Amino acid sequence: MKQLIQKLTDTFSPSGYENAIRDVIRAEIKGFADELRVDALGNLIARRGRGGRRVMVAAHMDEIGLMATHVDDRGFVRFTGIGGVYPRNLPGGRVRFVNGTRGVIGLDGGVSGNDLPPLEKMFIDAGASSKDDCPIQTGDVAAFERPFLDFGNRLVAKSMDDRIGCAVAIEALRALKSTPNEVYFVFTTQEEVGTRGAQTSAYGIDPEFGFSIDVTGWGDTPGQRDFDIALGKGPAIKIRDGGMLSDPRIVDWMTAAAEKNKIPYQREVLLGGTTDARAMQLVRGGIPVGCVSIPCRYVHSPSEMVDYGDVQNAVKLVLALLRPAVKLQLAGA
């Protein structure tokens, strides 16, 4: 599975430009889905099973990135963020544009070492010496570049958010040889800019219920407080986040499956942030949702860290949820 994780995180696909990662995922799941299609916003939808309870499982395949706004006469590229880009993580970093061009992020002169400058005071230097020989144009899109690291138990890469969720979904789909349920694994687009792909794919699929698989934050490094999530203690079952209250029936379904199968898990109460489940919940007449979270340190930095045991247990949990016929009482309960 580590190889799969590396392959997914090595791919450059910021929001709206998911072609490359979609091709990678499609190749990985080919032959494992009963039906495979791409919808109008580029979501990759893989169905497994037919005729049972209709459940949607969403993992977003986009990642945060940058977009060029202006190239000056000396060939320096001004940029803006795609998704939640923190200025403090940028200076000295490297980026790779969708067209393959690489660049380093520099700071305007006059910014003191103690300042936290805004994106407007930064530029990308792609090695050009003038506007004419700069291979970047306004509107070109880039993602962060940072090699994958394997510490044994801990894995580090850019775009663990949410390629790790994609990896869990891929492994679960491959292992789900048959299911009495009608399961839609959706690899969604444009999550980082507002859970857009999940909204439209959920509308198209019209599931009875669903959940997302995404990263969550962490509370186990120096100075982190008030968040009971640690790496290595299992996947987290989301109770709430900044944009969604999980349906209590979904939470019960998840915790019961974890306990029955002796899968370690943590209960997640996240105050900020949200996932694709928020968009799914509000589609059409409303859909009961929850989320299987993978604890991840340094989210939205170029070095996001997860625990390999948590990842494997997340796969087990997803399979424990989807293998038996789901007996959730949803309507008129």
Partner 1 sequence: MANKAPATGAAQIKSLERLCRAVGVSGGEGEVRQIILDEIRSSVDEVKVDALGNILATKKGRGAKPLRVMLDAHMDEVGFMLVADDGEGLYRFKIIGGIDPRNLAGKQVVVGREHRPGVIGAKPIHLTTADERRKAVAEEVLRIDLGPESKIKVGERGTFAPNFQRVDPSLMSKSLDNRLGVSILIELLRANYPNIDLCAAFTVQEEIGLRGARVAAQFFQPDLAIVMDATPANDLPMQFEGDNVFYNTRLGLGPAIYVSNSSTLDDPRLVHFMQQVAQKAGIPFQIRQPGGGGTDAGGIQRAGAGVPVVSVSVPHRYTHSAMSVARIADWKNTLALLHGAIRQITPALLK
Contact residue for partner 1 among 12, 17, 185, 187 (CB under 8 A): 17
What is the phi/psi pair of residue 103, to 5°?
-155, 165
The nearer residue to partner 1, 15 or 274, going by C-beta atoms, is: 15
The nearer residue to partner 1, 139 or 285, going by C-beta atoms, is: 139
- Per-residue binding string, partner 1, 230-269, x by CB under 8 A, is ----------------------------------------
Identify which range of 10-18, 177-185, 226-234, 237-245 contacts partner 1 by CB under 8 A.
10-18
Least distance in angstroms from the C-beta of 317 to partner 1: 29
Identify which range of 68-76, 244-252, 287-295, 301-309 contacts partner 1 by CB under 8 A.
68-76
Least distance in angstroms from the C-beta of 194 to partner 1: 8
Least distance in angstroms from the C-beta of 118 to partner 1: 12
200 touches partner 1 by CB under 8 A: yes
Q: Which of 191, 192, 268, 304 is catalytic?
A: 191
Q: SS3 letters for the chain? A: CHHHHHHHHCCCCECCCCHHHHHHHHHHHCCCCCEEEECCCCCEEEEECCCCCEEEEEEECCECEEEEEEECCCCEEEEEEECCCCHHHCCCCEEEECCCCEEEEEECCCCCCCCCCCHHHEEEECCCCCCCCCCCCCCCEEEEECCCEECCCEEEECCHHHHHHHHHHHHHHHHCCCCCCEEEEEEECCCCCCCHHHHHHHHHHCCCEEEEEEEECCCCCCCCCCCCCCCCCCCEEEEECCCCECCHHHHHHHHHHHHHCCCCCEEEECCCCCCHHHHHHCCCCCCCEEEEEEEEECCCCCCEEEEHHHHHHHHHHHHHHHCCCCCCCCCCC
Contact residue for partner 1 among 7, 10, 32, 39 (CB under 8 A): 39
The pair of structure tokens assigned to 10 is 């090595």
Q: What are the angstrom distances between the C-alpha of 154 and each of 283, 304, 313?
A: 36, 10, 14
Contact residue for partner 1 among 49, 197, 235, 302 (CB under 8 A): 197
User: Is 171 assigned a catalytic role?
Assistant: no
72 touches partner 1 by CB under 8 A: yes
Of residues 79-118, those binding partner 1 (CB under 8 A): 80, 82
Residue 186 to residue 193: CA distance in whole angstroms: 17
150 touches partner 1 by CB under 8 A: no
135 touches partner 1 by CB under 8 A: no
Residue 251 to residue 111: CA distance in whole angstroms: 48
Of residues 285-324, those binding partner 1 (CB under 8 A): none
193 touches partner 1 by CB under 8 A: yes
Contact residue for partner 1 among 22, 47, 163, 196 (CB under 8 A): 196
Least distance in angstroms from the C-beta of 54 to partner 1: 15
Contact residue for partner 1 among 120, 150, 228, 259 (CB under 8 A): 120
Give me the residues that bind partner 1 (CB under 8 A), please.
15-17, 19, 39-41, 43, 67-70, 72, 78, 80, 82, 120, 137-139, 190, 193, 196-197, 199-201, 203-204
Catalytic residues: 191
